[in-house]
Amino acid sequence: MPESPALHIEKLRFQYSPRDPVVIDIDSLDVAAGEQVLLTGTSGRGKSTLLYLVAGLMEPTGGRVLVNGQDIHAMSGHTRDRFRGTSIGMIFQTFNLLPGFSAAENVMLALMFSDVPRREHRDRALALLETLGVERPNAAADELSIGQQQRVAVARAIACRPALVLADEPTASLDPDNAAAAMDLIQTACTESGAALLCVSHDPAMADRFARRASLHELSASTA
């Protein structure tokens, strides 16, 4: 039996209200297990909205989103939250780490949704942070450098060994040298954990990093 793609989108449509313009209109998009795809588009064209729809954080106007073969919008409440926690990792432009919590605690919070026994959470978080080069795992996340915070965010995203990692403009707040290092980290971590990666960005420097690239405009059903 063929393996389900990490992500399957069909006839996905989103608008904030019937009177508003259509923000997302994608006829189809598949991301294979372990594949890394770059989705481009200018600012304000719906890239972040698409990731929120894929993660089940926003409801589509129409269409379906399947992650690892499961229709995330057919789920509700705790079932969807748990599925998101175990199957989808997210890396945000601003990292969204919890201030006042240590780097290790930020990763341990992600592990709460996993099947890893609770008694093993701290050891797994520390091991993952060490692998990713986080030098002060017990320091508060907001006391770390931007580069170290990025590493914590990557560790949190892959902690539960998700099928799919979503990266929303992950280098937007970094200078070119740190941006390159961050993308090396993200792509290598996804490869080693077996996660597919869907990265959205308007940074032209990203293009050479991905064998497969697409733009929101190309995917739009209205331009097909």
N-terminal to C-terminal alpha carbon distance within the chain: 31
pLDDT score, position 221:
59
What residue type is assigned to position 36 of the chain? Answer: Q
What number does CATH give the domain 7-100+162-223? 3.40.50.300
Domain boundaries, the chain: 7-100+162-223
CA distance 48 to 41: 10
Residue 93 has what pLDDT? 82
* Whole-prediction pTM: 0.92
pLDDT confidence of residue 222: 52
Residue 95 CA to residue 161 CA, distance in Å, equals 19
Q: For residue 86, give every residue at least 6 positions away whose Cβ sits within 8 Å of its Cβ, in sequence order, or none.
A: 113, 114, 115, 160, 162
- pLDDT for the residue 211: 93
Tell me the C-alpha distance between 197 and 178, whole Å. Answer: 20
C-alpha distance from residue 149 to each of 13, 128, 181, 190, 200 (Å): 34, 14, 13, 17, 20
Ranges of residues in the chain with a pLDDT under 70 are 1-2, 221-224
Query: What is the model's pLDDT at position 224?
Result: 43
